[in-house]
Structure 1
Amino acid sequence: MRHAGQQGPPGGRAPAPAGRRPSQEGREPGAPGQDDLAERGPGPGADLEQEPLATPAPVPMVIIGAGKVAHAAHLREIRDLPDLIRPVAVIDPDPGHRAAVMAGFPRVAVCDTPEEATRAGAGAALVLSPWWTHKDVVLACLEARLPVLCEKPVSLDPAEIDELIAAERLSGVPVTAGYMKRHDPVVRLFIDHCRANAATARRIAVDIHDPNAPHLVDHLVPYPPPPFGPQPPPARAALARALGADSSALQREVYARGLGGSLIHQVNIVHAALDGTGRELYGSLEHSLQWAGGSAVSCRWRPDDDLVVEASHLRLPAHRRYRETLEFTGTDSVATLTLPSPYARDEGATLHIDTWDEATGLSTRRTHRAGPAVTGFREQLRAWTRSVSQAPGPGPRTGDRPLPGLREVREDALTVREAALRLT
């Protein structure tokens, strides 16, 4: 049942673009955002053209799930993007969570289902509920004809992902995966460099030091967030279905956290960097290790005889800062990408690209930085709202790229699931 509360006049529903493809629908802006380039040359992405940042009208949206990630990331970006997004409904079983949303967005209706949200004026759905609820929530959104942006992991169960792909195809309504790092303009430059230098690639490395500690997000959440602890029973049941009855409790824990909760982001970036090269992570796993009771995990893939991909995630609660580094090493270049905490808005990503000229021995360093508040979460919302709105003119725009969709979700889940089942 929908509760009026402080509801204002419902907004019009965002019309779907004509000729919509069933998956990976929509395009993201090609703008590199704010660049502070220490040494700027015609490097990758330099020709990207600035795109309009506003959609024709704010997209009326239902927020499904108003927990920690909603308040720490999405809702504070939405408050700064009133020309793009207008929340008109919220769905969450917790009264305190709903009240916190209504305190910041008083003109919303409290609803129980996506279908009710459409009657409140919603034209799209932002799914931020716990990961093990995503399949049922996204299916209900597709039945209600609501385009979806779903937080990662969309699912860790390949069978569920196949069900979602079939429902997306049948409905013709797109599901976008919440791989927000892919929308960071500096990350996009890193991916471009990897693709342009794929023939020379010898190693891609990922290293994450993650406090996953209260000081990172507690100040952003308007109620006491739940403590870090064991997975709740519904999550444990979902993990058992995803990994199989023979999987161990340790494998399920590492799959939910270090692999599926974190490294799946970077696996997606590596997949994007290798797209079109014929190199695959799934099926090329050399080893998968856990240590420190599962709080640390490392994987190594060898897609072919020339390339090794390595990724590690360490949960280190005593560390005060989150640190993430991705490095591409080629025969004549090294690209080093560093990223702050995904919740940080006062600092951005940095990319150093070092190249060498074999004939002269001279080296060149190009540095790319995004300015403050150019976050993956914000750029993701820009791209997604544009994809579910009527474009002001026909035809593609310069620099447009497909949004991450369910087929990428399936590829990423298969890769990290294989790593979970091979843990030693």
Structure 2
Amino acid sequence: MPVVLVGAGKVAHAAHLRELRDLPDDLRLAAVVEPDPARAEVLRRTGPGGARRCGSVAEAARAGARAALVCTPWWTHREVVEECLAAGLPVLCEKPVSLDPAEIERLAAAERRTGLPVAAGYMKRHDPVVRLFLDHCRERLGRARRLAVDIHDPNAPHQVAHLVPYDPPPFGPQPPPAREALARALGPAATAAQREAYARGLGGSLIHQVNLAHAVLAGSGRELSGRLLHADVWAGGAGVGCRWRPDDGLVVDMTHQRVPAHRRYREVLEFTAEDGVATLTLPSPYVRDEAATLAVESWDAGRGLAERRVHTAEAGHTGFRRQLLAWAGRLRGAPGEALPGLADVRQDTGVVREAALRLA
């Protein structure tokens, strides 16, 4: 399946281009659209051979691309995805697809008009160990007490410096187009701290875990929307946390901390039920030599016996890779589970937006 890569920035080099090189029987990089001349030149020298540099998505479609992988900055996604759909290309768009509810509705209208799907880049949903965790949580949801998420994120250049063939940009203030997009998304009354937390800790990171929580709660009648107890930001915006109460028996806690001095990314999800605890530990999404680990502990109070099972996957079989494989299968019309789409994006964005506007 020939595809066009739109945007050759950090996530493209650190994740997707590496996987595309290893999946030649499933996806072929036919074209690249990258307006930055320096990045385009780096990609020409270091990227997969045979990819044509195009000035627009329409040109890439004429060059043979049949689908689009969108990896541009989030505040450009609405315009880029609409351009892809207009050119007749189904899309896999990196998260967050959009943080603006109005833009999401506009994309949904374009999707209906063209009949072409927009898949959201929730790559964690495709990790086999994450799938085991979600299945475990769903099976025990009636006995659930708490779902907790704790992320320590360096969010610093050293995370990807060895994967990107140019100096990764330093962490800094949002560029003017991003600030304008955030103002539209949150409204004029939102504070600078709310906009910053929405773009990064909430919309840039925890939206992934909100999506996982929605996958657990789907069909149960329990919701995160409208069930927010509180949302806090601290350490000058480096920490953000939220608590929801989907019903009287369950709370959902999520925390993201930007900690540049921590050399490694750390993400832990813990699901507590009446009769056991499941702990999911995830490495940095950009590593290939580590895999997710799921430890399930259960006990029988009557017999006084406990059991602990540990599940892990072969290193290298990352969520990014399995997401691309699933997408390729859907593009070919092969049977399989549908990828998360704009309905998921709408639900997840509504929840993190509500949290951003409640931040103290």
Same fold by TM-score greater than 0.5 = yes
Q: Matched residues in 1 for 2:316 and 2:31: separation?
A: 26
Q: Matched residues in 2 for 1:389 and 1:236: separation?
A: 39
Deviation at 1:332? 0.9
Matching residue of 1:152: 95
Matching residue of 2:275: 332
Matching residue of 2:214: 271
2:240 equivalent to 1:297: yes
**Pairing of 1:99-138 with structure 2 (within 5 A):** 99-103=41-45, 104-138=47-81
2:286 equivalent to 1:343: yes
Q: Matched residues in 1 for 2:333 and 2:347: separation?
A: 30
Residue identity in the other structure for 1:413: T
2:338 equivalent to 1:402: yes
Residue deviations 1:219-247 (CA, integer Å, cap 9, x gap): 11111121110000000000000000110
Matching residue of 1:246: 189
Residue identity in the other structure for 1:267: V
2:220 equivalent to 1:284: no
**Pairing of 1:304-383 with structure 2 (within 5 A):** 304-383=247-326
Q: Matched residues in 1 for 2:302 and 2:289: separation?
A: 41
**Does 103-112 or 188-197 show the bigger shift?**
103-112
Is the 8 Å Cα contact of residues 156 and 170 (structure 2) preserved in structure 1? no
Matching residue of 1:186: 129
* Aligned residue among 86, 91, 98 for 2:33: 91
Matching residue of 1:420: 356
Residue deviations 1:42-96 (CA, integer Å, cap 9, x gap): xxxxxxxxxxxxxxxxx10000000111101110111111111111111111112
Deviation at 1:215? 1.5
Deviation at 1:358? 3.7
Q: Matched residues in 2 for 1:384 and 1:303: separation?
A: 32
Helix, strand or coil for the counterpart of 1:387? helix
**Pairing of 1:23-38 with structure 2 (within 5 A):** none
Large movers: runs of 4+ above 4 Å: none
Q: Matched residues in 2 for 1:380 and 1:83: separation?
A: 15
* Aligned residue among 194, 201, 217 for 1:258: 201
Matching residue of 1:26: none
Residue identity in the other structure for 2:324: L
Deviation at 1:359? 3.2
Residue deviations 1:314-349 (CA, integer Å, cap 9, x gap): 000001111000010001121100000111110000
Deviation at 1:374? 1.2
Is the 8 Å Cα contact of residues 5 and 29 (structure 2) preserved in structure 1? yes
Residue identity in the other structure for 2:23: L
Deviation at 1:115? 1.3
Q: Matched residues in 2 for 1:337 and 1:93: separation?
A: 39
TM-score between both structures, scaled by the size of structure 2: 0.98
TM-score between both structures, scaled by the size of structure 1: 0.83
Helix, strand or coil for the counterpart of 1:271? helix
**Pairing of 1:60-99 with structure 2 (within 5 A):** 60-99=2-41
Deviation at 1:390? 3.9
2:100 equivalent to 1:164: no
Q: Matched residues in 1 for 2:327 and 2:183: separation?
A: 32
Deviation at 1:214? 1.7
Matching residue of 1:5: none
Is the 8 Å Cα contact of residues 197 and 356 (structure 2) preserved in structure 1? yes
Note the residue ranges of structure 1 that are not aligned, 5 or more in a row.
Answer: 1-58
| Structural RMSD (CA) | 0.9
Matching residue of 1:54: none
Matching residue of 1:224: 167
Q: Which has the higher contact order (CA 8 A, sep 6+)?
A: 1
Residue deviations 1:9-66 (CA, integer Å, cap 9, x gap): xxxxxxxxxxxxxxxxxxxxxxxxxxxxxxxxxxxxxxxxxxxxxxxxxx10000000
Relative to its length, the structure with more helix (as a share) is: 2
**Does 130-139 or 220-229 show the bigger shift?**
220-229
Q: Matched residues in 1 for 2:44 and 2:329: separation?
A: 25
Q: Matched residues in 2 for 1:146 and 1:101: separation?
A: 22
